[in-house]
Structure 1
């Protein structure tokens, strides 16, 4: 199975947007671990252009990559062991070392906690309970890694039980048509507007059915897509229409958000219309992006290998930098645009430094999600 370079570029782009998105969370009037002094309602509009598809796309791409890893690996047990090493080790490192500053800043800036960081880590972080409404210890943004590992283990069990291609023919027949766009969009509408109306994600794995109802099918869809030329052909065929519908639905979402900003509850039936339009927007944009990537981006370019390797370390560290820097900036009461520029520069610079140092230190590489360096035989 050949590597799909277009999906590599999508993964790079999605993780890049994640930095902008989490910086935006500082300024939008939604809940976050640290907030600027004066959040602005208008920031929600560009955020709504991204948040209906950014995470689902990553699970789809991860499912696609999982098939390639399974094919070239040493069987299903080896695949499961490899993914556990590559995901659980960085997750534990993140929870123990990278993440703690985030709940500390949240507690000190939003919940009246007055202890210093050293005291917090030694006495409170590992309490395995709640402090000021914050559950500790926590994985914060690294919930994605835990969910990805869980879905990967479910996939390994399915493959071991039923075989790699048991339903591939059915998938090809169904999703090799316009249904590759319509069926997932309809399912996401059902999840958002019917099964779990008004219910947000919890990110705690055990009690997060609304997330699992979206991300697990997306992950399995990506796995099946990796072995389905008909479905990829359908995505190439329908991406212009999907892009148009996605933009139209985004317009509906924006109109409702402007009329009922922030946490205001829209009048009936606009809440259902908002959820439905957002769901259709999300899958339509994913169809458009995969179709575009398969048509125009499935090629190698300079920096792809480095960026493909760097995105996981970037993901591990980026939110801690954002929360830590904003926590330091809050007492200065800087203009929002100055805060944004400082956050952007320090986050990009900090992520690159974290990756550049970590990749050169052998024992640190698996902790930040990189493969161990292969030993080279000495030359005479």
Structure 2
């Protein structure tokens, strides 16, 4: 049964984080062979490959932000809001900066979208740094920091003015309300905001994504300790599983049978509602079954969870570079899909392990230096 572990780590959430970030490697690799253009795109495409995105993209990032809200609010047991904001800023800022400056540029440089392919990499990087910085997949870190800041401002106000808001929200998410209210909300956003704003992944213009992801983050922060919600999620697990399976089947059928350009506006609206249904029911299903199947400590999950941010930062650039070299060798076809996934996973593991070793070596040195500075700064004792 899904439980709220108030005095210990939520191992189910660790497992879900690893699962979500792990599927990103498969998802981004599939974009090389999908119908839409990407950084590196194979001429050998497959409609079946596009079903990977159809079946994983609607729920993955929403679930990650929901989990981030859960984890952030759970830290209140040991830290103040200001401390949480400071710690999370430290955790997110350095990877974000390094990612934007060092990890993103190679993707652009080897892609057909490089505006100056005649430049050396150093000349390209200098131009990129001066005038063309891009977030790319680092958008997740930037958005997460923004939502943590919003939460840090909103949480004290909510606790002061609406102390029962969490319990009220959980009370409404019972029975049919567990499905109808969130699906109606997500459908409204998908039908009203998405046609105008789309998903830009540009932090200043991505109004639809902010509406979805910030809502998910805040919902997670409110529901983390609401036992009635978690009992309801567990109790409705088979309904959520069936709903997810049926809505995904409907989406897949529409995608395969009717080309997007031939869909009427009414059918597009229906598809968006079905997508929102799949989005929320898949999230509920994963939360419920993770609570049952991954509620105990697992050494592999624990190890991967400690390195998962490194995997996230590195993986997309590795995929693009691997696909680029396959293309240069004339081997970028559908049969290279699995090899690219395996190469990416291997390099992510390698980078994560090396990073962990370096960090374990440097941390005692940094602490020793800091301790020495504090001792030097202590005023001398007065003579007796």
Give the match's secondary structure for 2:18: helix
Instruction: Identify the residue that residue 300 of structure 1 maps to in structure 2.
Output: 297
**Deviation, structure 1 residue 312:** 0.8
**Deviation, structure 1 residue 302:** 2.6
Q: Aligned equivalents of 1:11 and 1:372: distance in 2?
A: 31
Q: Aligned equivalents of 1:346 and 1:118: distance in 2?
A: 26
Gaps of 5+ in 2: 1-5, 372-384
Counterpart check, 1:286 vs 2:283: yes
Q: Deviations over 1:172-230 (max 9, x none)?
A: 32224442222111111111123333742111111111101111111111111211001
Q: Deviations over 1:137-160 (max 9, x none)?
A: 112101001000100010011123
Question: Are the structure 2 counterparts of residues 150 and 55 from structure 1 closer, same or farther at C-alpha, using a change threshold of 3 Å?
Answer: same
Give the match's secondary structure for 2:123: helix
Instruction: Identify the residue that residue 52 of structure 1 maps to in structure 2.
Output: 58
Question: Are the structure 2 counterparts of residues 9 and 16 from structure 1 closer, same or farther at C-alpha, using a change threshold of 3 Å?
Answer: same
**Deviation, structure 1 residue 374:** 7.4
323, 327, 331: which is aligned to 2:324? 327
Contact kept, 8 Å, 1:246 with 1:280, in 2: the verdict is: yes
Deviating more after overlay: 182-191 vs 324-333: 324-333
Q: Aligned equivalents of 2:107 and 2:272: distance in 1?
A: 30
Question: Are the structure 2 counterparts of residues 372 and 271 from structure 1 closer, same or farther at C-alpha, using a change threshold of 3 Å?
Answer: farther
Deviating more after overlay: 93-102 vs 143-152: 93-102
Q: Aligned equivalents of 2:290 and 2:367: distance in 1?
A: 31
**Deviation, structure 1 residue 110:** 6.9
Instruction: Identify the residue that residue 314 of structure 2 maps to in structure 1.
Output: 317
Instruction: Identify the residue that residue 127 of structure 1 maps to in structure 2.
Output: 130
Residues 78-93 of structure 1 mapped to structure 2, 5 A cutoff: 78-93=83-98
Contact kept, 8 Å, 1:188 with 1:214, in 2: the verdict is: yes
Q: Deviations over 1:278-297 (max 9, x none)?
A: 11101011011111112332
**For this pair of structures, how many residues does the alignment match?**
361
Q: Aligned equivalents of 1:24 and 1:372: distance in 2?
A: 42
Q: Aligned equivalents of 2:120 and 2:96: distance in 1?
A: 25
Gaps of 5+ in 1: 129-135
Counterpart check, 1:267 vs 2:264: yes
Q: Aligned equivalents of 2:218 and 2:303: distance in 1?
A: 27
Q: Aligned equivalents of 1:272 and 1:159: distance in 2?
A: 35
Residues 1-380 of structure 1 mapped to structure 2, 5 A cutoff: 1=6, 2-73=8-79, 75-106=80-111, 108=112, 113-122=117-126, 124-128=127-131, 136-163=132-159, 165-197=163-195, 199-261=197-259, 264-334=261-331, 336-362=333-359
Contact kept, 8 Å, 1:80 with 1:152, in 2: the verdict is: yes
Relative to the length of structure 1, the TM-score reads: 0.88
**Deviation, structure 1 residue 98:** 1.3
Q: Aligned equivalents of 1:197 and 1:335: distance in 2?
A: 34
Question: Are the structure 2 counterparts of residues 346 and 27 from structure 1 closer, same or farther at C-alpha, using a change threshold of 3 Å?
Answer: same
**Could you list the runs of 4 or more consecutive aligned residues of structure 1 that deviate by over 6 angstroms after TM superposition?**
363-366, 371-375
**Deviation, structure 1 residue 166:** 4.8
Question: Are the structure 2 counterparts of residues 117 and 239 from structure 1 closer, same or farther at C-alpha, using a change threshold of 3 Å?
Answer: same
Q: Aligned equivalents of 1:59 and 1:201: distance in 2?
A: 16
Deviating more after overlay: 155-164 vs 88-97: 155-164
Give the match's secondary structure for 1:66: helix
Question: Are the structure 2 counterparts of residues 144 and 209 from structure 1 closer, same or farther at C-alpha, using a change threshold of 3 Å?
Answer: same
Q: Aligned equivalents of 1:199 and 1:265: distance in 2?
A: 22
Q: Aligned equivalents of 1:260 and 1:127: distance in 2?
A: 45
